[in-house]
Amino acid sequence: MIIRSNSKDIALKLDALMIKHVPFVFSKTLNELAKQSQQAIVKDLQDKLTIRKNWLAESGKFGVRVRYSSKHSLQAHCL
């Protein structure tokens, strides 16, 4: 019985896959963290201030906005 392994080929393919997908995973994580930060900022503002209209809504132009990251630009901002 002869057993052969192509573990070197598999390792090279996994390395290539990691290089391709790691930036995407980092970007997704940053975006989720930015979204959670946005929600925390809005909640804190609502707890401390009397806000009469819905200007803090995510879609509102005056609220806390998020500039999302991409796999090419790994920066997310809460504005």
Cα separation, 55 vs 4, whole angstroms: 65
Q: What is the pLDDT of residue 42?
A: 87
* Residue 52 within a domain: yes
Does 1 map to a domain? no
Is 70 part of a structural domain of the chain? yes
Is residue 36 included in any domain, yes or no?
A: yes
Single pTM value for the model: 0.72
For residue 43, pLDDT beyond 80:
yes
Tally of domains in the chain: 1
Check: CB of residue 31 under 8 Å from CB of residue 68: yes
Domain that holds residue 35: 7-78
Query: Residues 59, 42: contact at Cβ < 8 Å?
Result: no
What is the mean predicted confidence (pLDDT) over 4-12?
73
